[in-house]
Amino acid sequence: MGLGVIFLSFANHHQNVKTNKMDRLKAIVLLMKQKGLRKYLEIGVFNGHILFKIQSTFKIAVDPDFAFDNARKLGKIFLNPFNLFNKYFEKKSDDFFATDATNVIGANKIDISLIDGMHEYGFALRDMENVLQYLSDDGVIIVHDCNPQTKEAAGTWEEWLAVNRAGSWNGDVWKAILHLRCTRNDINVFVLDCDHGLGVITKSKPENMLHFLPQDIEKMTYHDFDANRTAFLNLKPAAYFYEYFNITKP
């Protein structure tokens, strides 16, 4: 039995969606299985709780401080043989795109990417725009933490540290979503109302656009966001995922 057959057999039997709720892992798995998206990039890996479950022979992991060691990497290969192909870059995403992306990705293009890095406007926006440069025409970007439910969850990194990282921290990733919706007429952007807000970005005509200037977005507060979250985010119910991508519910 060839190596390719072994991996295909493993994928057919083990890449199952085990929850009825939509979340970032479920969205990624369904897109890979039903839309044939394969080449995967994850920014903001932390302990690998998403990365290690993904089945692809082309996986790139970027994080300035991985919360796992080589022993855990090895163990995850036994649980999911596709982790044998993982490429790890323990550095800031800005540095990865500046020094590594061209050589590592090159003409391959990324089919699907999860962005879950630093939850601040400037960082998140650069991650989105950098990934877009390497995204295939049919590719999809999933962005975590786009819909904070409280002022505290939408605070700064320093404010979250001051309370000993209590509660959820989504930061102001929502501003990066709004920024793209105001400045890019070559992509469609919306947010699914689940899993702290899942941003979805595809290369297609935007459903609609807004017209704020970047300097205006920078000055916006959580109060501004809370009063306009549906319009700012192009917020959709979680079930819209199946309609938009023409995907069958598992």
CATH of the domain at 204: 3.40.50.150
* Nearest-angstrom CA–CA distance, 66 and 60: 13
pLDDT at 176: 98
In a domain, 3, yes or no: no
Q: What radius of gyration, in Å, describes the C-alpha atoms of the chain?
A: 18
Each residue of 35-73: pLDDT tens digit? 999 999 999 999 999 999 999 999 999 999 999 999 999
Helix, strand, or coil (residue 157): helix
Each residue of 140-193: pLDDT tens digit? 999 999 999 999 999 988 988 988 888 899 999 999 999 999 999 999 999 999
In a domain, 2, yes or no: no
In a domain, 7, yes or no: no
DSSP string covering 96-125: HHHHTHHHHTGGG-EEEEEE-S--SHHHHH
In a domain, 5, yes or no: no
* Nearest-angstrom CA–CA distance, 229 and 226: 5
Q: Which domain holds residue 220?
A: 22-245
What's the total number of domains in the chain? 1
pLDDT at 3: 47
pLDDT score of 250 more than 90 = no
* Nearest-angstrom CA–CA distance, 64 and 159: 21
pLDDT score of 243 more than 90 = yes
Residue 229 CA from chain centroid, whole number: 20
In terms of C-beta distances under 8 Å and separation of at least 24 residues, what long-range contacts does 157-165 make, across chains too? 157/118, 157/119, 157/120
Dihedral over Cα of 59, 173, 190, 237: its sign:
positive
In a domain, 6, yes or no: no
In a domain, 197, yes or no: yes
In a domain, 195, yes or no: yes
In a domain, 12, yes or no: no
Q: In which band, very low, low, confident or very high, does the pLDDT at 201 lie, cut at 50, 70 and 90? A: very high
Instruction: Record the pTM.
Output: 0.92
